[in-house]
């Protein structure tokens, strides 16, 4: 006779109240902190807008662009990056069209928060402790917040976290449904951002762990190794096949290799350069590197080969490029949760020995050391925890982009679109319609592509598109180096949109020249046209 399932029972309010512990507050605080941080930061101009413009073009034409049509310096040049981002470009544009900047920031906040929620849940599953899971997630967030700007790569953080969770859950339960995460996730990843090889690496590290486990248990036996490798090997093959579902097929690996070795990107993009102690991101990374090394060294549990390789590979990636810092934090979060909990358990065991008098002659008890023995949680503590949960959730609600005007934020964080975006200057440009070509700050290029496509850019955030000659000309002109006027004449420039902060010297030189006339300026930008 078929056993009937017990009816779903809804917990009573008092049961929910009594179940809230201080460690749950730790976990919720980290997640709400991530969500609030993302919601209260505006859309920065460097990459977002050109991705939006390409998404708009893909939906309008029904095809992915093959060559550059957005600049006048490289017009007609093949640009394979469109094929690497196209899916998220379309998604970003649809989100923006549906709800504008506020809805875009909200969806972006959900994606980022979801990535770290998956890490938190995984850390809890591995360590059995919400507290150490929260610690690992906070570690990841501290190393990742510099890369939380609105752009296509955000979704890849959630995919990577889901890969880590799926690996753990399959190894724990052997439910085959978890295996579908990898080819499906890789299909999304390879069409959204060029970091997709990191997903294959995570699968490979899983295989290393399975092989090591088999060797430890049964020695070098081919049948045992085959049994250990067959599932991660099959998943790796299927995920690799999913990479072929990108517009470039498996040729997309060549694109990624070319990007990582591009000398122009390495020299001009700060986030591709190695981290240094002169920046907050570099300080957090090197501090995190030392902290995680100490945790792995002090942990009573021996790190697995996959954990050691994760530390070594992603640590080296972070040393090589600032873009790797986030990935080091993301992949180390569950590892740290496991080993922090092991250290905590060891400390608690020693404390129990001391308390019971088994700590050895001359050893101090926890009370001697000022360590309090936790008492059972009281009803008042339950109420206080519930109040704190309510306040955290209320803070999350009021952090939503639609309520941003209520926050006393600094000018650089106020509004939904960053103050460094030349919104007003572009409106004047479109109203006055001066003759082109236009020379402008590189940081303005992305927004110009979106809002004023009739003025093709000189350079923009698609760093690898432009030749070294164009970049050197841009740098010399922007610095008002001797011969800057000749540089503008070389490209037939008729209009200037200069950054008040990035090109202050050039703006001053232009104002002293009789060849240019200023038609607009504000705290962000200044517009000049040829003629007296």
Grade residue 472 by pLDDT with cuts at 50, 70 and 90. very high
Q: What is the DSSP string of 189-225?
A: HHTT-TTTHHHHHHHHHHHHHHHHHHHHHH-S-HHHH
pLDDT digits (tens, 9 = 90+) for 438-460: 999 999 999 999 999 999 999 99
How big is the chain, counted in residues?
532
Q: In the structure encoding, which two tokens stand for residue 358, read together?
A: 């088994």
Torsion, Cα 68 271 316 467, to 10 degrees, reads 40
Residues 479, 498: contact at Cβ < 8 Å? no
Share of the chain above pLDDT 90, in %: 66
pLDDT of residue 517: 93
φ/ψ bin of 310: left (φ > 0), alpha (ψ from -120 to 50), beta (otherwise): alpha
pLDDT of residue 366: 44
pLDDT of residue 367: 46
pLDDT of residue 122: 97
pLDDT digits (tens, 9 = 90+) for 201-224: 999 999 999 888 877 776 666 677
pLDDT digits (tens, 9 = 90+) for 367-423: 444 444 455 555 677 778 778 888 989 999 999 999 988 888 887 788 899 999 999
Mean pLDDT on 475-496: 94
Q: Is 523 helix (H, G, I), strand (E, B) or coil?
A: coil
Token pair 């088994």 is at which residue?
Answer: 358
pLDDT of residue 10: 56
| Full 3-state SS string of 350-417 | HHHHHHCCCCCCCCCCCCCCCCCCCCCCCHHHHHHHHHHHHHHHHHHHHCCHHHHHHCCCCCCCCCCE
Grade residue 31 by pLDDT with cuts at 50, 70 and 90. very high
Strand 495-499 versus strand 438-440 pairing type: parallel
pLDDT digits (tens, 9 = 90+) for 151-206: 999 999 999 999 999 999 999 999 999 999 999 999 999 999 989 999 999 999 99
pLDDT of residue 363: 46
Lowest mean pLDDT among 75-89, 222-236, 489-503: 222-236
pLDDT of residue 431: 95
**Sheet arrangement for strand 438-440:** 438-440, 495-499, 525-530, 516-521
pLDDT of residue 387: 82
Q: Is 462 helix (H, G, I), strand (E, B) or coil?
A: coil
pLDDT digits (tens, 9 = 90+) for 338-360: 999 999 888 888 766 665 655 44
pLDDT of residue 5: 54
pLDDT of residue 371: 43
Lowest mean pLDDT among 10-19, 307-316, 341-350: 10-19
Mean pLDDT on 282-308: 94
pLDDT of residue 463: 87
pLDDT of residue 234: 94
Handedness of CA 378, 120, 129, 180 (dihedral sign): positive
pLDDT of residue 365: 45
pLDDT greater than 90 at residue 229: no
DSSP H helices in 278-376: 280-298, 305-320, 324-355
């Amino acid at each position: 006779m078929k056993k009937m399932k017990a009816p779903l029972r809804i917990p009573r309010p008092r049961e929910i109240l009594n179940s809230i512990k201080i460690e749950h507050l730790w976990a919720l605080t980290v997640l709400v902190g991530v969500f609030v941080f993302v919601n209260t930061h505006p859309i920065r101009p460097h990459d977002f807008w050109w991705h939006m413009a390409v998404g708009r073009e893909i939906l309008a034409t029904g095809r992915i662009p093959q060559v550059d049509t957005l600049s006048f310096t490289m017009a007609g040049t093949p640009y394979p990056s469109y094929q690497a981002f196209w899916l998220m470009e379309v998604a970003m544009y649809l989100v923006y069209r549906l709800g504008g900047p506020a809805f875009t920031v909200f969806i972006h906040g959900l994606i980022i928060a979801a990535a770290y929620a998956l890490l938190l849940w995984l850390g809890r599953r591995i360590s059995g402790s919400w507290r150490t899971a929260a610690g690992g997630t906070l570690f990841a967030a501290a190393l990742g917040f510099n890369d939380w700007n609105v752009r296509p790569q955000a979704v890849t953080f959630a995919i990577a976290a889901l890969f880590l969770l799926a690996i753990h859950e399959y190894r724990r339960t052997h439910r085959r449904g978890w295996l579908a995460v990898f080819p499906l996730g890789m299909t999304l990843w390879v069409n959204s951002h060029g970091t997709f090889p990191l997903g294959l690496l995570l699968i490979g590290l899983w295989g290393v762990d399975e092989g090591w486990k088999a060797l430890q248990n049964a020695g070098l036996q081919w049948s045992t190794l085959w049994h250990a490798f067959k599932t991660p090997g099959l998943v790796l093959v299927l995920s690799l096949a999913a990479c072929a579902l990108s517009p470039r097929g498996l040729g997309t690996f060549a694109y990624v290799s070319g990007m990582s070795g591009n000398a122009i990107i390495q020299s001009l993009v700060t986030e591709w350069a190695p981290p240094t102690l002169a920046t907050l991101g570099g300080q957090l990374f090197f501090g995190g590197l030392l902290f995680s090394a100490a945790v792995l060294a002090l942990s009573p549990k021996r790190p697995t080969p996959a954990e050691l390789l994760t530390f070594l590979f992603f640590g080296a990636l972070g040393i090589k490029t600032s873009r790797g810092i986030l990935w080091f934090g993301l992949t180390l979060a569950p590892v740290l949760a496991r080993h922090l909990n092991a250290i905590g358990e060891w400390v608690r065991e020693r404390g129990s020995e001391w308390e019971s008098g088994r700590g050895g002659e001359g050893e101090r008890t926890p009370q001697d050391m000022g360590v309090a023995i936790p008492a059972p949680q009281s009803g008042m503590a339950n109420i206080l925890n519930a109040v704190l949960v309510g306040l955290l959730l209320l803070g999350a609600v009021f952090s939503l982009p639609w309520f941003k005007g209520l926050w006393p934020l600094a000018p650089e964080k106020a509004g939904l679109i960053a103050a460094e975006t030349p919104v007003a200057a572009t409106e004047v440009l479109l109203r006055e319609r001066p003759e082109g070509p236009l020379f402008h700050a590189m940081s303005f290029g992305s927004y110009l592509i979106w809002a004023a496509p009739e003025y093709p850019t000189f350079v923009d955030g698609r760093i690898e598109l432009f030749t070294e000659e164009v970049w050197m000309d841009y740098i010399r002109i922007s610095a008002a180096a001797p011969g800057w006027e000749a540089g503008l004449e070389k490209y037939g420039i008729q209009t200037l949109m200069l950054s008040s902060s990035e090109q202050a010297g050039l703006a001053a030189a232009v104002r002293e020249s009789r060849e240019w006339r200023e038609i607009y300026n504000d705290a962000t930008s200044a517009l000049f046209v040829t003629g007296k």
